[in-house]
């Protein structure tokens, strides 16, 4: 009983302090999601235009959640979560969105984002079920999620030479 309480306290404190949790749903690669901890569960919002993807997370399903250490960045605790979708307009949705709103960085629509979340997004409650606190065996590294986004192209070979010439011209004394 005492170990269970300690494990629950570890999950709560680690998840509260971590800016991201790593979540793996069914048949989807693990991905980092920003969240808010409220009433014994992690809440995430996404699925809409411009929000984090929640692929593989279905109402009534389960997900694997891994929380990293804020100090070292390594795995601190992992838990199996029961996934429940929160309906817009309910007290639970209002409370979750109030917490999530403070965590959302660089929202394109500012104060109007909660209305957009109600129309376009899903708010999910991830409630801890089974907790794993022992160290993992082997690496937890996974390949990055496929994306159409690419990095910028290499700098053209002549560009540094052009920049260097301009810099040198500015350093010459005038009238010389």
Q: What is the pLDDT of residues 61-117, one digit of tens each?
A: 999 998 887 777 777 888 899 999 999 989 999 999 999 988 888 877 777 888 888
Mean pLDDT of 1-10: 79
136 pLDDT more than 70: no
Query: What local confidence, expressed as pLDDT, does residue 128 receive?
Result: 92
Query: What local confidence, expressed as pLDDT, does residue 51 receive?
Result: 86
| Structural domain total, the chain | 1
Q: How many residues does the chain have?
A: 176
Averaged pLDDT score across all residues of the chain: 82
How many angstroms separate the CA atoms of 78 and 128, rounded? 9
Helix extents (H) in 18-131:
91-103, 113-120
Residue 174 in any domain: the answer is no
Residue 163 in any domain: the answer is no
Query: What local confidence, expressed as pLDDT, does residue 173 receive?
Result: 63
123 pLDDT more than 80: yes
How many angstroms separate the CA atoms of 77 and 89, rounded? 33
Residue 162 in any domain: the answer is no
Mean pLDDT of 125-139: 75
Domain that holds residue 35: 2-140
Residue 8 in any domain: the answer is yes
CATH code of residue 74 = 2.30.110.10
Residue 153 in any domain: the answer is no
Under 8 Å between Cβ of 148 and 102: no
Residue 148 in any domain: the answer is no
39 pLDDT more than 60: yes
Query: What local confidence, expressed as pLDDT, does residue 92 receive?
Result: 94
132 pLDDT more than 80: no
Query: What local confidence, expressed as pLDDT, does residue 172 receive?
Result: 60
Residue 109 in any domain: the answer is yes
Give the whole-number percent of the chain exceeding pLDDT 90: 27
How many angstroms separate the CA atoms of 81 and 75, rounded? 17
- Please report which confidence band the pLDDT of residue 133 belongs to, taking 50, 70 and 90 as the band edges: low
Under 8 Å between Cβ of 79 and 108: no
Under 8 Å between Cβ of 67 and 30: no
Residue 23 in any domain: the answer is yes
């Amino acid at each position: 009983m005492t170990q269970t309480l300690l494990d629950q306290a570890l999950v709560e404190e680690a998840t509260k302090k971590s800016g991201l949790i790593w979540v793996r749903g069914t048949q989807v690669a693990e991905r980092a999601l920003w969240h808010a901890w409220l009433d014994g569960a992690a809440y995430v919002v996404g699925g809409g235009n411009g929000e984090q993807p929640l692929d593989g997370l279905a109402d009534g399903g389960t997900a694997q959640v891994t929380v990293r250490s804020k100090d070292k960045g390594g795995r601190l605790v992992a838990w199996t979560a029961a996934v429940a979708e929160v309906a817009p307009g309910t007290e639970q949705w209002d409370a979750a969105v109030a917490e999530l709103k403070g965590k959302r960085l660089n929202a394109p629509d500012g104060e109007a984002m909660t209305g957009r979340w109600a129309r376009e997004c899903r708010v999910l409650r991830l409630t801890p079920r089974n907790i794993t606190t022992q160290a993992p065996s082997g690496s937890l590294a996974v390949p990055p999620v496929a994306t159409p986004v690419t990095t910028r192209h290499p700098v053209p070979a002549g560009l540094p030479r052009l920049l260097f010439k301009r810099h040198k011209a500015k350093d010459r004394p005038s009238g010389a």
